[in-house]
């Protein structure tokens, strides 16, 4: 069931299936913090909320989840409960989850500790929907293991924030299709926010048609732009 990950000499993880990298060579954590957490205005948007739900369309090596969990753990104004829902068709081995954070430069021992907890839960992974709890139940991870569209159709969550992540739209078009992005919108409420590294014109066009107000924002090298969007179906 586990997907093969290849590693370069400088510890860059790559997917042979999609011929694309899981994260940038040197800025994987910064990308997670800037593009996804920052793009969804976290931690501000979950401040003092009883619950906050994040939906991610590509779990990959889990770095976005781990960075979010770490931010939540470090925030004195954090929401009471964090529900993180992620879809992944091709889960990687637990050893690669760990290697991904162990290879970060500079080292981040706090993330390594969280990844070790995730790896223990990962050992029981199976297809379909499953739930894992961390931080004495305050952090809940729902993993939907399967193709993106069927999994979106099975989920019942309403997301406060969406991490629209996945391999390059050219190499993984199903993840970014109109049908998929409209299914993502079905899990939103007015005011839900979305973040992505992709600013491709077709992605922006479909999101706009699905009810999102989309804007391009300054990115981080080697991507000079990133995407932020807000679900406002009444605004066209």
pLDDT of residue 76: 96
Residues of the chain where predicted confidence (pLDDT) is lower than 70: 1, 25-26, 235-236
% of the chain residues with pLDDT over 70: 98
pLDDT of residue 110: 96
Name all contacts of 99-106 with Cβ < 8 Å and 24+ positions apart. 99/7, 99/11, 99/13, 100/13, 100/22, 100/23, 100/28, 100/61, 100/62, 100/63, 101/63, 101/66, 103/11, 104/28, 104/29, 105/26
Tell me 3's DSSP state: P
pLDDT of residue 180: 97
Which pair of tokens denotes residue 8?
A: 């370069």
pLDDT of residue 220: 85
Cα–Cα distance measured from residue 35 to residue 61, given in angstroms and rounded to the nearest whole number: 16
pLDDT of residue 1: 62
Are the C-beta atoms of 108 and 102 separated by less than 8 Å? no
Q: Count CA atoms closer than 13 A to 162's CA, side-chain side.
A: 31
pLDDT of residue 123: 83
pLDDT of residue 9: 87
- Residue 49: CB partners within 8 Å, gap ≥ 6? 79, 80, 160
**In 10 A of CB 80, how many CB atoms?**
11
Q: Say which CATH topology domain 6-194 has.
A: Rossmann fold (3.40.50)
* Nearest C-alpha neighbor of 94 from the set 112, 116, 109, 110: 116
Whether the model pTM is above 0.85: yes
pLDDT of residue 28: 86
Cα–Cα distance measured from residue 57 to residue 184, given in angstroms and rounded to the nearest whole number: 8
């Amino acid at each position: 069931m586990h997907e093969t990950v290849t590693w370069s000499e400088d510890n860059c993880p790559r997917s042979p299936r999609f011929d694309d990298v899981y994260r940038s060579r040197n800025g994987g954590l910064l990308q997670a913090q800037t593009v996804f957490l920052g793009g969804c205005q976290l931690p501000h948007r979950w401040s003092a909320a009883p619950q906050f739900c994040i939906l991610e369309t590509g779990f990959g090596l889990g770095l976005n989840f781990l960075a979010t969990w770490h931010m939540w753990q470090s925030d004195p104004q954090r929401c009471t409960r964090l529900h993180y829902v992620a879809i992944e068709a091709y889960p990687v081995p637990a050893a690669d989850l760990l290697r991904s954070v162990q290879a970060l430069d500079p080292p981040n021992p706090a993330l390594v500790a969280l990844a070790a907890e995730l790896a223990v839960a990962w050992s029981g992974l199976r297809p379909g929907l499953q739930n894992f709890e961390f931080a004495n139940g305050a952090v809940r991870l729902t993993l939907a293991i399967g193709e993106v569209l069927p999994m979106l159709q099975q989920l019942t969550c309403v997301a406060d924030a969406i991490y629209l992540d996945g391999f390059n739209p050219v190499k993984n078009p199903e993840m970014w299709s109109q049908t998929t992005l409209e299914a993502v919108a079905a899990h939103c409420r007015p005011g839900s926010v979305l973040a992505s590294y992709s600013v491709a014109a077709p992605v922006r066009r479909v999101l706009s048609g699905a009810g999102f107000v989309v804007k391009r924002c300054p990115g981080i090298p080697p991507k000079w732009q990133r995407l932020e969007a807000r679900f406002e179906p009444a605004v066209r």
